[in-house]
Amino acid sequence: MSNVSQIIGIYQADGGVLGELKYITGKMFGMAHCALCDITHGRTGKKDAWKECEDNLGIPISFVHLNERETELEEYTKTLTPCIVGKTNNGYIELVNSEQLEICKGNVKELESLLLDSLK
């Protein structure tokens, strides 16, 4: 297993009430999309399958929106979002890139497999 101490997913949207409203409105009109959101969330919130995946990973995982990133994370992921990175003693490493998230097409098991492979 890798030396990743924490997994961080970065959504392609701003957080907060206004950020969420902007994303939902943009998604309705085809002007906003986040492949990571499609995998982790359904119409009623976090997918049960994703909750199970989080439990199976064995490494703490958290998610942030674009406007919630700390400076170091923002610098590392500036052109990579949406993505999933791992925090190590030496900084961040990309675990799953935006293209891979798109290929998952909302499928939790696909992402879980990618994450587990990246952590080896």
Which CATH number fits the domain that encloses residue 92? 3.40.30
Task: Please state, in angstroms and as integers, the Cα–Cα distance from residue 22 to each residue in 14, 27, 47, 91, 113, following that order.
Answer: 8, 8, 21, 31, 31
Whether 104 is in a domain gets the answer yes
Whether 12 is in a domain gets the answer yes
Whether 1 is in a domain gets the answer no
Q: 90 is written with which tokens?
A: 């030496």
Q: What pTM did the predictor assign? A: 0.90
Whether 93 is in a domain gets the answer yes
Q: 5 is written with which tokens?
A: 């101490």
Whether 90 is in a domain gets the answer yes
Task: Label residue 2 by pLDDT band (50, 70, 90).
Answer: low
Q: Is the pLDDT of residue 108 over 90?
A: yes
- Residue pair 22/107 in contact (Cβ under 8 Å)? The answer is no
Domain that holds residue 38: 6-119
- Report pLDDT for 1: 47
pLDDT digits 0-9 by tens, 3-62: 999 999 999 999 988 888 788 787 778 887 899 999 999 888 899 999 999 998 989 999
Q: Which residue is associated with the tokens 């909302």?
A: 106
Considering its fold, how many domains does the chain have in total?
1
Task: Label residue 114 by pLDDT band (50, 70, 90).
Answer: very high
Whether 48 is in a domain gets the answer yes
Q: Is the pLDDT of residue 105 over 50?
A: yes
pLDDT digits 0-9 by tens, 62-100: 999 999 999 999 999 999 999 999 999 999 999 999 999
Whether 102 is in a domain gets the answer yes
